Amino acid sequence: MIPEGETLSSLSNPLATVEQLSNSSSSLDGVPPSLESSIRFAGLQITQAAGILLRMPQEIIAQAMVIFTRFYLGPEGGSVRKNGAK
């Protein structure tokens, strides 16, 4: 989480824009930010655990986690509500 009062605009080479990070499809669908963050975090934990159990290289696990995260970015991204995450 970002400390209160600080902004994301200080990143020199962001992989996602501030707009994408602040306006997710889930938030536009009315999903509380805390629930969305919890679901994303749990999904990333499961992705990492699966990669470790499958003895995948760390680079592949990291790429999978980036793809998982990018799926939910921005208003055009996936929605927790529409994709049935519970």
**pLDDT for residue 29:** 80
Cα dihedral 11, 17, 22, 24 sign: negative
Residue 8 zone, left/alpha/beta (φ > 0; ψ -120 to 50; rest): alpha
Cα dihedral 51, 37, 25, 85, rounded to 10, equals: 60
pLDDT in tens, the chain (86 residues): 455 555 555 556 667 777 777 777 777 788 888 888 888 899 999 999 999 999 999 999 999 998 888 887 876 777 766 666 55
